[in-house]
Amino acid sequence: MPELKLSKPVEIDGEKKDVIIYDLENLQGNAIENAIKSMQKQGYVPTVQELDPILHAHIFAEAAGLDYLDIKKLSAKDYLKAVSAVRDFFLSESEDSPQENTSAQ
């Protein structure tokens, strides 16, 4: 599984961490829904889901099995690395998939 190497250790559940292991490959749809529901409870609605950094931070938390509040503790540099990992994962997946032919024949 991929690891996010932190430039600045962070305390999560009483333990200093300098690496966060996450798994985007095995996320299921309910993880995305949980991330969106969590955001909505905070009064935030994602705009463009493919580019929304707050949504991506919530999804990273799901992929790492952590609470979103733990992700917010990351240094700005590490937070952006986490967000970028999610964004890049979804954008690379959409670029790799062929477009379906929707024209009637």
User: What is the predicted pLDDT for the residue at 52?
Assistant: 92
Of the two residues 45 and 104, the one the predictor is more confident about is 45
Q: What pTM was computed for the model?
A: 0.84
Specify the pLDDT at position 100: 47
30/34 Cα distance (integer angstroms): 6
Q: For residue 93, name the pLDDT band (cuts at 50, 70, 90).
A: low
Distance separating alpha carbons of residues 72 and 15, to the nearest angstrom = 16
Domain boundaries along the sequence of the chain: 3-93
pLDDT tens by residue, 31-88 = 999 999 989 898 988 878 888 999 999 999 999 999 999 999 999 999 999 999 999 9
Q: What is the mean pLDDT of the segment spanning 2-7?
A: 96
